[in-house]
Structure 1
Amino acid sequence: MSENDPRISSAWETYRNFLDHAPPHQVTQQLRSLSVPENLIAELIKRHEVETTKILELKEPLGLGRENATPWYAGPRKGDRNWPAFKAHLQRNLDEDAVDTINEASDKVVAMLDHPAKPAFDSRGLVVGHVQSGKTSNFTAVICKAADRGYRIFIVLSGVHNALRRQTQTRLIRDVVRLNPTLWHQITTPEHDFTPPPNPAALLAAKDQHLLLVVKKNAVVLRKLRKWLAGARAHLQNCPALLIDDEADQATIATKSINPLIAGVLRQLPRVCYVGYTATPFANLLADPVGKEDFYPRDFILSLPRSEDYQGPETLFGRSPLDGEDPANVPGGLDMIREIPDDEVAAMRPAKKSDIATFEPEVTPSFRKAVLWFWLSTAARRVRSGKAEHSSMLVHAHSDTRVHDSYKLPLEQLKLETGKQLAAEDHGLIVELRRLWEAETGRVPADELGEHSVTYEDVADFLPQVITDTKIIMDHYRSTNRLDYESGAATVIAVGGNTLSRGLTLEGLVVSVFVRSSDVYDTLLQMGRWFGYRPGYKDLPRIYMPAEMRRWFTHLATVEAEMRSEIDRLLVEHKTPLEMAVRIRCHPKMRVTAPSKQKAAVRAAAAYGGALVESRYFPAGKGEEAEKWHTNNANAVMRLLQASSTDGWQDGSPAPGRRLWRDVPGDHILRFVRTYRFHEKSTDAAAGLIAAYIEKRMDTGGLTAWNVGVLGVDPAPNASKKGSGPKKVELPGGDVVGTVVRTRLTANRYDDVADIKTLTGSRDEGLDLKLDKVPAVNRTILQNERSKQQPEKGLVLLYPIDAESKATKKDRADLNIVGPAVVWGGALVFPKPIGGQDVEVEYDYLAADLSRVFPAATDEEPEDVSVLDQDLDTDVSAAAP
């Protein structure tokens, strides 16, 4: 098709109109969805990029961020060599949807890079992936597409361990270099990290050659790389460079040696785009945005998508609802977590440092179950696939390699004894195995996750060979017998620590035993090797950990979901990371990242306008503390109801079993908030923060009056239903209501804290509203109606819950709260402020400090212009991208 073809001219005008509403790579996808011929699309992309190059030669793009930069990348085009080859390779191993996801996600990243025709650039971005979810595939696709557009030098910083560097180099050779060997020159190899090659001029002068360096974050190596680049600087002007920092939160941020060396490498490259990749970006998001060596992602932040098959933190552990989310739609977590009692934890890791040298781990009941389930589930996988595949179990108890080694003997003995007992058809062992199989498959039915059900008899046939095949591997830097997935199907129990928690993939991971002590967000998430894709065995993974650790991972699931929502908001609101900082929710017992990595962070501010805060967790164990908790809340509820009947007025319109008092003074609500206890797991319900917010709203004239409702049921027995009817609860003044039923999540059935997931019903927020003419409701509609009908008036909802509530649904378990007959749940509904400007209170979120990015403007003319010029030079050099 000729460029003078009239179809090109006509289509070009349409293409340019599309560009007014969407970035080029999305326009390309639109055209393909409309079945526009591929050769016509290729001509349009080519023309767009030619014109973009002309623009860049005439004028530098304005602004600090990608939103204001000249959009240039329109997606793959005809004549590309690297991406088509990698795409064909992917199509041989993945389904079409997975390949499309990688294609679209990498398009977004490349579109954020600088146009390689720019005479100079130095930009910083961050791509947030998911633990064990294909970050490498994404940046491999980005390398291919950037190479097809003219980027010449590709430096991949691949962690701090040799194993990960070798793994990354090997994958890039397989997925990039070997697919187009004439286009690439490897400066590093799997066996050898960076060694300065002679005659850099010859390497850099060949325009049809791309250079690939996979470099470990090691001071010696980085110094050599910096020195080599400095010596070749005269030849680098025509070599656009892409530096990809894998595990960008490790060593890059706030280290005395590695951090300045990476910055030094970047300074040698006159045209370079730095892109960090990590699944735990907390340190990167809290870096100093005006510090040139702090690697704050000042130009862009992107969050990679994940498929529905990915088992991540919220899939496995569940999470709390985010602002504006319907709690009923929030995942509650799969029933795959098994808690290790505290007394067993003491037998599985040394209590203090001085105990390490003499520590000998015990095969506790939980640990034994974990190993037996590993063998059972591995056998089940062989039944399903008809062959042996990689199958791994992780034991992560401590960071010290001596503790790792101490697990060798007890695991080998367990393997030997179990093999002998199985060969002798030991009745006790067979009963134990059958019961374990039936219990676990009953809790997580295979068919509910789309997997094929397997009987114990089928599994039993494969067990002897599975146990025989099992290797016990101590994987740490001193070990000579390391994990090896290249020599055929491996069935391994891997004991390790730091080397297994960064980047390395444990192939076919089924069972994880995790008793490592850590209270840092990024450290914990990176240790979660159990996150990822489990094709063909989505029902079989199990994680054994202490109860507190489980609660922490549930919190982390909420933190991660909220963080990604904030990142997406940057794109939706067309903000750059220098205009809006991503907030990270804190925890009273955990640290977001190492203190040295968050020195520049500041506390963020909270606003509850339009929010719903509700009880979700209730103490369910025996003991004086739980009893006091429920008694305290019952007293707080009764005091509020007494005050409501005294100082408010009762509205008789609600249905039987429900009560409503209007115009209750805000002071009574403040007292209730300060005395009623939300469980500590309800991280969005901090009493002090809520009280401070209400006080601040009251100071501005809002929330001075509230409505208070009780949402029970009709206490009269229903003759059409079996049973004796609800329990009766007497309210102050003699009113009686019936208890409501709330049950706990099945995955939570054995916990001493009951998780009911959702307290409020879909229309409960409208108790004090007239909704007769509203055909359907959701949270947005109810918020809008509240603004119209009850402006600046909050709502308290109180629920008398039957402590013995019985479950009737398969994904639910009996509430089973010991002690009280009635448990009181509470919810607070906050109206949006009139005028839309909410008040804020400092709260438990951290964010990067953007206050120094754009100095406050002044209309005063300075007396000494020379001094001002000097100050401006300093500020611009610190803040410029």
Structure 2
Amino acid sequence: MVRKVWAVNSTPQVSKFVKMIRDRRASYGSAAEVADVIKQELADMFGAGFEDSMRADVDEAARVVQSSGQDVEILRRHSIINDREKWYDGPGPNDPHWSALHSYLENTKGWDPDTIASIDEASNEVVSLLDNPTREQFACRGLVVGYVQSGKTANMTAVIAKAVDAGYNLIIVLGGVTNKLRKQTQDRFDADVVNRHRHLWQLYTTGEEDGDFILPPNRSFHMPQEGQAQLIVMKKEGSRLRKLKKTIEKTPPIILKKLKVLLIDDECDQASVNSARGDYDMTRINEEIRRVLKALPAVSYVGYTATPFANVFINPFPINDDDLDDLYPRDFITALERPKGYFGATEVFGSDSAEDEAEGRDMVRVLADDDPERVRPTKNAEKESFRPEMTRSLEDAILWFIATCAIRRLRGHADKHMTMLVHASQFVAQHQYMSELIESWVAMHAADLVGGTGEISARFNTLYEDECSRTAPEEMNQIPEAFDAVRAELGSVLDALDFPVENGISQSRLNYENGPATSIVVGGTVLARGLTLEGLTVSYFLRTSRQYDTLLQMGRWFGYRGGYDDLPRLWTTSDLISKFRSLAVIEEEIRRDIDYYQEKKLTPMDFAVRVREIPGMAITAASKMKHAHRTSMSFDGQHIQTIRFDHLNTDLLRGNWKTASALIDKAISRSGLPVNRERRVLFKDVPFEAVRRFILDTSISDEHMSLKKSHLLGYLDQSGVALATWHVGVITPGKGTTSARELGGLGKVPTNRRAKLKDAPARYADIKALMSKRDILIDVEGTVVGPDDWNHYKAQRPSVPLLLIYPIDANSPPQSGSKTRVALDAAEDVIGFGMVFPGQKDRSGGYYQVELDAPSVDQFEDQDELEELGEQEPADG
């Protein structure tokens, strides 16, 4: 969005008048009219003391408010779109709902102006992609992709406000699949939009637990009134959707013709996508949503999700399209920008990407190997009888949560919510057992914690100092809050602490409505999707999933932590950490795809969003992927590296050393003595067969989630003459421990030091990064200048594939003072390798996408039904 820049007199007096005009503007025709009223009121108040300078300030404020809504050009920078009418130019100066929302966010919620400006711009883009509500009939289908816990609701709220200002008069929000999520959504919209101008809204639902949609008394929608809107926030449930459809059918045609509907599907990857086996079949909720859309003559459907995997696999050409179109986002897909101050999978866990060497924040704590079996049942038969134990890790998590509450009180957050999440089991009975265990443990140790006595108090002291030092900003070099001051707050924290249970049957639910809450909440699925946990600082999380979307949605710890982003901690398993690091790459690839195709001016019907597979995981439920097909597996333009090693397997390590030695000998026999490059050696014109043999005979750890030998060999074999000859380099340090064995004809060589991440599972070593960016310049003549990044360096390379061999010291101690790494302690010296492939990166990867060439009917006649392999999880409400 581009606005004309106006010269603004930014005195405090003008700013004060700007606020007054914005707050009252909706009741008047223009900002100038509001200014006239204010000047009259001030004249009545001050009499002769009402000076010309004050009058000029009011007029200046009116000019600022008036100009802020003019000369808007919406740049659809984050969307791929079908040919859309350009009908929306942004909010006008007299639009009541956006004006009131803007003022509420700025003055009541105290949001940063940059954050509000970002929401303003992003919501303008989405509204501009809806259909024009002045048209008699339309049927728009769109998708908005955000980040988990990133403020999607804020964008939705702004879109609703602006859409109503622009002429939409019936807003339907599908707010999750549970009463709790529906109520949370209703309350948010009421607070942010509806209550600002309550007289302009007709509500069919309320924030009560039983306030969901029912048939209206007259079984019909009301005739829309000029400047007013009707609102429904309802559960995504078959019976509710049928009541909605019945209300539409009973609405007189003269009223129905006047309704301009915006239907927002929150968490649209959940329940909305058709997961029925057959192409002619539909799941109940999917069918009901489609029938509702079919019954409305003028409706824009917009799905919101942070995990769009299932949505981009919807069949764009359903068999029964003449009757009911499916929910494929044919008109637009918008990827919301990463919000300022947000931290997600990359910040928390780091990334498996070869291009991103960041290790994430030091906020993740790995559970002991036997913790899972001590705190949750491993068999369905034990779901009622099993009793969880208090483990050292759970004690540490509780103690740190209590410490964070005390710290936040010292930082002036006593009026804010503070929450700890415990999500260990999906079984409802276990939630109550776990909550009782935690509550009794806290009661047992409360006096010692407050009084500073006993073993638990000493542990609290040690834990506090250790945790604060691990995430304190580098420039602080000290504990942020004095320990004595923190200790003095513990009594108040413990007095405020409660222990709610969140599931479908609990009577002690999480409550943020009766003032600031300090809660250790235990629960299941309802805590793993949609529900926002206010002020979340500590998570104790054992549950996992094989599916991308389910796993990412469990990440309630993602989001914003203004004023306390050094405090969040996550206690979990090393396997879950590994999966999240891989998913961080997938998330960003989808967004980069959308950006790339937006630049190429392609539409959602010209291309399909690709989702790269991770071996060992499912993208989404198999039943939602029946229209997705595997695209080519390619490494074009990529660089890959081994970062995980089976470091305790002596025979495997010796075998890999032998394989690397054979490659070196082959290179010497073919190319002669290597070229020396700063104590590194380079062989040119090494034949494809030698490189292929090296890959074939090298054991690559199965723990690599996105680097599998079968995929790599398949790509090499398909590439043919394009990879006929290679450059092979051996990367060694200037100084380093000499290898125990000879590396072929090079003899014994200096070895690289690569310490492992201390939180990796014991069964393998994870070094996070093997290659240095400048290593890939080993075969580049001359000096390379320019940005210090992978893409720039790869652009300077010759169009020859490169294989780099890294001999690694078996011991490999970490750098002094490292808190995240420990010695490699391998059974033998290790061989790692990296590869750099020529070509265009946008053609690479192992991906799934839907087929966009419309199929003929006979293609489906003999198609077998796909076996449903989706993960089955017991429901917990």
TM-score bracket for this pair, using the shorter chain length: 0.7 to 0.9
Structure 1's 490 and 828: CA in aligned 2 closer, same or farther, altered over 3 A? Answer: same
Aligned AA (2:328): Y
What SS is found at the alignment partner of 1:208?
Answer: coil
Q: C-alpha displacement at 1:725, in angstroms?
A: 6.7
Q: Which residue of 2 aligns with 1:17?
A: none
Q: Which residue of 1 aligns with 2:81?
A: 66
Asked whether 1:314 is paired with 2:346, we answer yes
Q: C-alpha displacement at 1:312, in angstroms?
A: 0.9
Q: Which is worse superposed, 182-191 or 673-682?
A: 673-682
Measure, in 2, the Cα distance between the counterparts of 1:749 and 1:458.
36
Q: Which is worse superposed, 301-310 or 471-480?
A: 301-310
Q: Which one of the candidate residues 613, 637, 645 is aligned to 2:668?
A: 645
Measure, in 2, the Cα distance between the counterparts of 1:535 and 1:452.
19
Aligned AA (1:797): L
What SS is found at the alignment partner of 1:851?
Answer: coil
Measure, in 2, the Cα distance between the counterparts of 1:393 and 1:690.
43
What SS is found at the alignment partner of 1:357?
Answer: coil
Structure 1's 349 and 777: CA in aligned 2 closer, same or farther, altered over 3 A? Answer: closer
Structure 1's 264 and 696: CA in aligned 2 closer, same or farther, altered over 3 A? Answer: same
Q: Which residue of 2 aligns with 1:245?
A: 265
Measure, in 2, the Cα distance between the counterparts of 1:694 and 1:34.
61
Q: Which residue of 2 aligns with 1:175?
A: 192
Q: Which one of the candidate residues 105, 108, 112 is aligned to 2:125?
A: 108
Q: Which residue of 2 aligns with 1:719?
A: none
Structure 1's 725 and 348: CA in aligned 2 closer, same or farther, altered over 3 A? Answer: closer
What SS is found at the alignment partner of 1:144?
Answer: helix
Q: TM-score, normalised by structure 1?
A: 0.83
Measure, in 1, the Cα distance between the counterparts of 2:476 and 2:114.
19
Q: Which one of the candidate residues 511, 515, 522 is aligned to 1:484?
A: 511
Measure, in 2, the Cα distance between the counterparts of 1:676 and 1:647.
21
Q: C-alpha displacement at 1:806, in angstroms?
A: 4.2
Q: Which one of the candidate residues 216, 222, 225 is aligned to 1:206?
A: 225
Please list the CA deviations of residues 627-650 of structure 1 after superposition, one character each: whole Å capped at 9, or x if unmatched.
Answer: 344323222211211111122333
Structure 1's 386 and 42: CA in aligned 2 closer, same or farther, altered over 3 A? Answer: closer
Asked whether 1:142 is paired with 2:162, we answer no
Structure 1's 37 and 379: CA in aligned 2 closer, same or farther, altered over 3 A? Answer: closer
The answer to whether the Cα contact below 8 Å between 2:575 and 2:761 also exists between their aligned partners in 1 is: no
Measure, in 1, the Cα distance between the counterparts of 2:143 and 2:816.
43
Structure 1's 447 and 233: CA in aligned 2 closer, same or farther, altered over 3 A? Answer: farther
Q: Which is worse superposed, 201-210 or 573-582?
A: 201-210
Q: Which one of the candidate residues 565, 568, 589 is aligned to 2:592?
A: 565
Q: C-alpha displacement at 1:568, in angstroms?
A: 2.2
The answer to whether the Cα contact below 8 Å between 1:392 and 1:511 also exists between their aligned partners in 2 is: yes
Aligned AA (1:303): A
Aligned AA (2:662): R
Q: Which residue of 2 aligns with 1:494?
A: 521
What SS is found at the alignment partner of 2:149?
Answer: coil
Asked whether 1:158 is paired with 2:160, we answer no
Measure, in 1, the Cα distance between the counterparts of 2:585 and 2:387.
36
Structure 1's 289 and 676: CA in aligned 2 closer, same or farther, altered over 3 A? Answer: same
Q: How many corresponding residue pairs? A: 784
Measure, in 1, the Cα distance between the counterparts of 2:82 and 2:306.
24
Q: Which residue of 2 aligns with 1:848?
A: 850
Asked whether 1:665 is paired with 2:672, we answer no
Q: Which residue of 1 aligns with 2:753?
A: 741
The answer to whether the Cα contact below 8 Å between 1:260 and 1:293 also exists between their aligned partners in 2 is: no
Q: C-alpha displacement at 1:273, in angstroms?
A: 0.7
What SS is found at the alignment partner of 1:663?
Answer: strand
Q: C-alpha displacement at 1:127, in angstroms?
A: 0.7
Q: Which one of the candidate residues 797, 807, 810 is aligned to 2:804?
A: 797
Structure 1's 289 and 412: CA in aligned 2 closer, same or farther, altered over 3 A? Answer: same
Q: C-alpha displacement at 1:517, in angstroms?
A: 4.1
Q: Which residue of 1 aligns with 2:146?
A: 129
Aligned AA (2:398): V
Measure, in 2, the Cα distance between the counterparts of 1:335 and 1:32.
42
Q: Which residue of 1 aligns with 2:20?
A: none
Q: Which is worse superposed, 573-582 or 659-668?
A: 573-582
Structure 1's 779 and 391: CA in aligned 2 closer, same or farther, altered over 3 A? Answer: closer
Q: C-alpha displacement at 1:736, in angstroms?
A: 4.6
Measure, in 2, the Cα distance between the counterparts of 1:702 and 1:795.
13
Aligned AA (1:311): F
Aligned AA (1:852): A
Q: Which residue of 1 aligns with 2:722?
A: 702
Aligned AA (1:832): G
Asked whether 1:376 is paired with 2:403, we answer yes
Q: C-alpha displacement at 1:821, in angstroms?
A: 5.5
Q: Which one of the candidate residues 194, 219, 231 is aligned to 2:250?
A: 231
Asked whether 1:762 is paired with 2:773, we answer yes
Please list the CA deviations of residues 817-861 of structure 1 after superposition, one character each: whole Å capped at 9, or x if unmatched.
Answer: 11345322211111228xx997x7xx74222232327x79xxxxx
State the identity %. 35
Please list the CA deviations of residues 164-198 of structure 1 after superposition, one character each: whole Å capped at 9, or x if unmatched.
Answer: 11121122122112212232211211222112324
Q: Which residue of 2 aligns with 1:220?
A: 239
Q: C-alpha displacement at 1:244, in angstroms?
A: 0.2
The answer to whether the Cα contact below 8 Å between 2:671 and 2:683 also exists between their aligned partners in 1 is: yes
The answer to whether the Cα contact below 8 Å between 1:103 and 1:141 also exists between their aligned partners in 2 is: yes
Q: C-alpha displacement at 1:801, in angstroms?
A: 2.4
Q: C-alpha displacement at 1:749, in angstroms?
A: 7.7
Measure, in 2, the Cα distance between the counterparts of 1:208 and 1:432.
62
Q: Which one of the candidate residues 241, 254, 266 is aligned to 2:293?
A: 266
Aligned AA (1:453): P
Q: How does 1:579-594 map to 2 (within 5 A)?
A: 579-594=606-621
Q: Which is worse superposed, 193-202 or 469-478?
A: 193-202
Q: C-alpha displacement at 1:679, in angstroms?
A: 3.6
Structure 1's 452 and 70: CA in aligned 2 closer, same or farther, altered over 3 A? Answer: farther
What SS is found at the alignment partner of 1:613?
Answer: strand
Structure 1 unaligned residues grouped into runs of 5+: 1-25, 50-63, 716-723, 857-866, 868-881
Q: How does 1:28-47 map to 2 (within 5 A)?
A: 29-32=2-5
Measure, in 2, the Cα distance between the counterparts of 1:153 and 1:837.
41
The answer to whether the Cα contact below 8 Å between 1:395 and 1:495 also exists between their aligned partners in 2 is: yes
The answer to whether the Cα contact below 8 Å between 2:415 and 2:515 also exists between their aligned partners in 1 is: no
Measure, in 1, the Cα distance between the counterparts of 2:492 and 2:624.
48
Aligned AA (1:31): K
What SS is found at the alignment partner of 1:493?
Answer: strand
The answer to whether the Cα contact below 8 Å between 1:120 and 1:270 also exists between their aligned partners in 2 is: yes
Q: C-alpha displacement at 1:614, in angstroms?
A: 1.4
Q: How does 1:670-709 map to 2 (within 5 A)?
A: 670-698=692-720, 701-709=721-729
Measure, in 2, the Cα distance between the counterparts of 1:776 and 1:160.
48
Measure, in 1, the Cα distance between the counterparts of 2:68 and 2:115.
23
Aligned AA (2:216): P
Structure 1's 561 and 450: CA in aligned 2 closer, same or farther, altered over 3 A? Answer: farther
Aligned AA (1:244): I
Structure 1's 445 and 727: CA in aligned 2 closer, same or farther, altered over 3 A? Answer: farther
Q: C-alpha displacement at 1:275, in angstroms?
A: 0.3
Q: Which residue of 1 aligns with 2:386?
A: 359
Aligned AA (1:437): Y
The answer to whether the Cα contact below 8 Å between 1:512 and 1:542 also exists between their aligned partners in 2 is: yes
Q: TM-score, normalised by structure 2?
A: 0.84
Q: C-alpha displacement at 1:37, in angstroms?
A: 8.0
Aligned AA (2:223): L
What SS is found at the alignment partner of 1:730?
Answer: coil
Structure 2 unaligned residues grouped into runs of 5+: 9-62, 276-282, 319-323, 859-877
The answer to whether the Cα contact below 8 Å between 2:97 and 2:162 also exists between their aligned partners in 1 is: yes
Measure, in 1, the Cα distance between the counterparts of 2:476 and 2:327.
41
Structure 1's 163 and 448: CA in aligned 2 closer, same or farther, altered over 3 A? Answer: farther
Measure, in 1, the Cα distance between the counterparts of 2:723 and 2:756.
33
Q: Which one of the candidate residues 633, 636, 658 is aligned to 1:635?
A: 658
Please list the CA deviations of residues 672-692 of structure 1 after superposition, one character each: whole Å capped at 9, or x if unmatched.
Answer: 122224444443422221211
Asked whether 1:282 is paired with 2:293, we answer no
The answer to whether the Cα contact below 8 Å between 2:511 and 2:517 also exists between their aligned partners in 1 is: yes
Measure, in 1, the Cα distance between the counterparts of 2:5 and 2:688.
58
What SS is found at the alignment partner of 1:358?
Answer: coil
